[in-house]
Amino acid sequence: MTVPSSVRRGATLSAAVLVGTLLPVLALPAAQADPGCTSEAAPPGELPVPLPLPSPLGPGDRCDDSEAPVTSSVTAAPAANAAGFIAQDSVTFTFTGAHTDADADPIAFECQFFNTPEPPADDEWTPCASPQTYTDLEDTRRQLGGVETPYTFRVRAYDAADRGIDATSPTNLLLGTGGAETDLPDTDQTPEQTSFKVDTQRPVASIFNTPFDRETPERPMITTDSPTLRINGNEPALVFDCDIDGREVPCRDDNVTFADLGPGTQTLSVSVTDRAGNTSAEPATTSFTVPEDLVAPGRRWKTRASRQAFGGDYLEASAYKTKITVAGVDVREVRLLANTGPKSGKLKYKTPGGAWRKVKLGGKTTKRGQVVIVRNEQSAPFTGKIAFRVMSRGKPVQLDAIMLR
């Protein structure tokens, strides 16, 4: 059958009309980044009814959401102390994010947590959610060069709906149109972060140069009222807390002189606290007995200055039957600090109700500040005054200090 040319021309015209009708719709405006854009998803198609033919028309133009969400400040529990430490092996971080515009897309987060000198690569982020907890943390240790590498936590918010969309991708695949000109980041470019160090170990205090006593090793007597002891701890930058029988005394990681101690048995206790706030589980202790400095009871005893003497001086008497007494309660042991040797005079002592007994001050060589045992710890106890009496003429008796225990 032959189709009239007029009919063929009408069919051609109808197609042209149809194309002409479509052209204004296809002439889409150039896509732009839009500061007011809150979603990069393309809007739906613009024709009210479906075309009978496959349509080159797709969704409308995309826009580029140029405002990424921001990440709030991070809160850690426990919080690091002033030295930047926590004293436990787990930590929990809380954080939030917010849009700075009217965007209603959901916000998600990515985190980095590391304990290395170099941070992870920028593509090494892990999905996370608040609160985020990390456990079984190892203590940070000093590395070569004395540097401690802290733990660092980073978190950044991102637009969970927009980040998976390339805003520049076309929405009309046939014509390659409908995409935005830009695709700015949908992730916060300024992550929040916090750093801290971990120390869960209790420090240990030590006391060196502790007094030694051959006669009573567990209850040593010292021969000075200002002993010097070496105080030490097993960690750097420790704070030392020392007391003697509950009385606070200053001390440090060094040789420490505890000056002008009173007479009697006393206990030094040393505790240490590290930078994380951990305190030693048990204090280091040492006990010792300090003698009592003797004071001249009258003119027959002369006070002689000496740097080597207990308290800086000692007593001297050479007149026959010159006496000195010292009171005590429930006393067993009695020791004197005295100068001994071949030129020393004779001395005797007597406890309440007892007889006069000899004190050994002699010797082949002259020695200063010697410990002279008058009575030992197995002796019967007494309460009252113990008396000492010079029993020679012309030879000096030199007494420095006395211990009653």
pLDDT in tens, the chain (405 residues): 333 333 233 333 333 333 333 333 333 444 444 678 999 998 887 555 455 554 555 678 899 999 999 999 899 999 999 999 999 999 999 999 999 999 999 999 999 999 998 999 999 999 999 999 999 999 997 655 567 899 999 999 999 999 999 999 998 888 888 899 999 999 999 999 999 999 999 999 999 999 999 999 999 999 999 999 999 999 989 999 999 999 999 999 999 999 999 999 999 999 999 999 999 999 999 999 999 999 999 999 999 999 999 999 999 999 999 999 999 999 999 999 999 999 999 999 999 999 999 999 999 999 999 999 999 999 999 999 999 999 999 999 999 999 999
Cα–Cα distance for residue pair 98/107, rounded to 1 Å = 7
User: Which residues, 6+ apart, have CB-to-CB distance to 356 below 8 Å?
Assistant: 348, 349, 350, 389
Quickly count: other Cβ atoms within 10 Å of residue 24's Cβ.
Answer: 7
Same domain (yes/no): 62, 80: yes
- Specify the DSSP class assigned to residue 204: -
Would you report the helix, strand and coil content of the chain in percent, each value rounded to 5?
5, 40, 55
Which of 200, 221, 239 marks a domain boundary?
200
Pair 347, 234 in one domain: no
Q: Would the CA dihedral through 375, 376, 379, 383 be positive or negative?
A: positive
Would you say 341 and 362 are in contact if contact means Cβ atoms under 8 Å apart?
yes
Q: Are residues 196 and 217 in the same domain?
A: no
Distance CA 155, CA 132 (A): 10
C-alpha 244/C-alpha 108 separation (Å) is 59
Asked whether the CA dihedral 121, 142, 89, 94 is positive or negative, the reply is: negative
**Nearest alpha carbon to residue 312 among 211, 403, 225:** 225
Beta-carbon count within 10 A of 128 CB: 18
Q: Which of 200, 219, 240 is the last residue of a domain?
A: 200
Q: Is 71 contained in some domain?
A: yes
Q: How far apart are the first and last CA of the chain?
A: 142
Q: Are 134 and 91 in a shared domain?
A: yes
Residues 64 and 113 in one domain: yes
The radius of gyration of the chain from alpha carbons, rounded to an integer in Å, stands at 46
Structural domain contains residue 225: yes
Q: Do residues 243 and 368 both lie within one domain?
A: no
Q: Which among 194, 199, 195 is positioned nearest to 275, based on CA atoms? A: 199
- Do 111 and 158 lie in a common domain? yes
What is the residue range of 251's domain? Answer: 205-290
The answer to whether residues 314 and 339 touch, using CB atoms and an 8 Å cutoff, is: yes
Shortest CA distance to 27 belongs to which of 62, 61, 54, 65? 61
- Cβ proximity of 115 and 140 under 8 Å: yes
298 and 286 co-located in one domain: no
With respect to residue 254, please indicate whether it lies within any of the assigned structural domains.
yes
Residue 285's CATH number: 2.60.40.10
What pLDDT does 177 receive? 87
Statement to judge: residues 224 and 267 lie in one domain = yes
Last residue of a domain, which of 237, 267, 290?
A: 290
Q: What pLDDT sits at residue 172?
A: 84
- Per the domain annotation, does 275 fall within a domain? yes
For residues 111 and 230, state if they share a domain.
Answer: no
Q: Are residue 247 and residue 158 in the same domain, yes or no?
A: no
Domain presence at residue 5: no
Q: Residue 268 domain-assigned?
A: yes
Q: What is the largest CA-CA distance in the chain?
A: 167
The answer to whether position 162 is within a domain reads: yes
Whether 90 and 176 share a structural domain: yes
- Domain count across the chain: 3
Asked, for residue 41, whether it belongs to a domain, the answer is no
DSSP class of residue 177 equals B
Q: How many CB atoms sit inside 10 A of residue 13's CB?
A: 11
Cis peptide before 24 (omega within 30 of 0): no
CATH number at residue 398: 2.60.120.260
Q: In terms of DSSP bridges, do strands 192-198 and 85-86 run parallel, antiparallel, or are they unpaired?
A: parallel
